[in-house]
Amino acid sequence: MSSPDFSGLVKFLVEPFLDAPEALRIDCEQNAVQAKVWIRVAFSGDERGKVFGRGGRNIQAIRNVVRATAALWGWSAYFDVFGASEQEGATPHRGSHPPRKPAQKPKPQLRHKS
């Protein structure tokens, strides 16, 4: 069984957001034995806001389509944006939101009987 054209899929999904599509670089590493694919993309830093979208929605949608396509073929997909920070949703194993700090409980006030 062959594998889908992951590079073509990513190109199709990312290019519409870019003013300069020729700046898009895609590195696609496939391991057919383990049915895994690692996809890394890079583009001009000026384009980052459009590709990521508000709150990382665009990049998360792209990531979901790539993962779903891989799953249909029985593969696992790992998608990363070169040079992106964790807060921009670059890490595929975490959500697009930074981790929250645990809420601090108010300290109980001691009451003295008079």
Cβ contact 14:51 at 8 Å: yes
pLDDT in tens, 14-61: 999 999 999 899 999 999 899 999 999 999 888 899 999 999 999 999
Q: What pLDDT, on a 0 to 100 scale, did the predictor assign at position 109?
A: 65
Q: Which residue has the higher pLDDT, 108 or 27?
A: 27
Task: Report DSSP state, residue 52.
Answer: H
Look at residue 85 and give its three-state secondary structure: coil
- Domain coordinates of the chain in residue numbers? 6-88
The CATH code of the domain at 6-88 is 3.30.300.20
pLDDT in tens, 61-93: 999 999 999 999 999 999 999 865 444 444 443
